[in-house]
């Protein structure tokens, strides 16, 4: 909605609460969200490239600006330095499926990556490109939310993307549908009551620029940058389904 008011690029940093019974080493019920949204001039790769450059700047800058603090962490939890090569590697979901199949893994063309295949793909990328950070784009439409823009050349896929650190996902993002009638059609397809999203669809009624963005979890970035076994090590007061205090 802020983009509709000609802000062009917006971001926010704040607490995010997830009411999901996720008991894993990479999920929290409360985390610090790093969210951004920006207008697209010609192609949604503009969003990928902007985020990739930002994350490379941050990750590579930490090595010099906060070397002393990282050495303190390494003394207790040894880890290899995070490798973020520029330009950041990005390839289509179809290519990821092909790499996994050539490696002997089962992966459907229109199925999301399992945790096992996600990690294995990260290993294959590290072997081939010598980087811990990469982007996968063009996910199947069946595994993305209703507001994700469909690929204009093949509506079985979308203008969406995930970013990975050390073989695990740190964010999902996409170009958003900015045409209200197309948006309503997708809402109906997902069998969501239109009235529950009226404020959202109305914000596009008088014209909206193409736009996209992503939301990152800060603690998850810390976990994978420092290669910590558990995301709870990257949070001062971790909140999960079994812990709400202190």
Catalytic sites, residue numbers:
18, 20, 26-27, 169, 172, 220
Single out the residue of 23, 26, 16, 24 nearest to residue 164, CA to CA: 26
How many CB atoms are closer than 10 A to CB 11? 11
105 class by beta-carbon count within 10 Å (0-12 exposed, 13-18 middle, 19+ buried): middle
Q: How far apart are CA 211 and CA 1, in angstroms?
A: 11
Tokens of 7: 């802000």
CB under 8 Å to 78, separation ≥6 — which residues? Answer: none
Single out the residue of 33, 28, 31, 15 nearest to residue 241, CA to CA: 28
């Amino acid at each position: 909605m802020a983009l509709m008011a000609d802000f062009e690029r917006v971001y926010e940093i704040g607490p995010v609460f997830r009411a999901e019974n996720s008991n894993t080493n990479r999920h929290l019920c409360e985390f610090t969200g790093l969210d951004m949204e920006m207008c697209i001039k010609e192609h949604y790769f503009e969003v990928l490239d902007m985020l990739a450059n930002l994350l490379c700047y941050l990750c590579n800058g930490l090595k010099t600006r906060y070397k002393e603090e990282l050495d303190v962490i390494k003394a207790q939890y040894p880890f290899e330095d995070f490798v973020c090569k520029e330009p950041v590697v990005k390839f289509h979901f179809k290519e990821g499926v092909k790499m996994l199949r050539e490696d002997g893994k089962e992966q459907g063309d229109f199925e999301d990556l399992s945790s096992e295949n996600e990690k294995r793909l990260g290993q294959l990328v590290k072997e081939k490109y010598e980087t811990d950070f990469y982007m996968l784009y063009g996910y199947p439409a069946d595994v993305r939310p209703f507001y994700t823009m469909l690929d204009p050349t093949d509506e079985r896929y979308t203008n969406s993307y995930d970013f990975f650190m050390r073989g695990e996902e740190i964010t999902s993002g996409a170009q958003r549908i900015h045409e209200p009638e197309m948006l309503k059609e997708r809402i109906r397809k997902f069998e969501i009551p239109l009235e529950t999203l009226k404020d959202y669809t109305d914000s596009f009624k008088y014209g909206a620029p193409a736009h996209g963005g992503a939301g990152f979890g800060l603690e998850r970035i810390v976990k994978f940058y420092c290669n910590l076994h558990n995301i709870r090590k990257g949070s001062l007061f971790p909140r999960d389904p079994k812990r709400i205090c202190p």
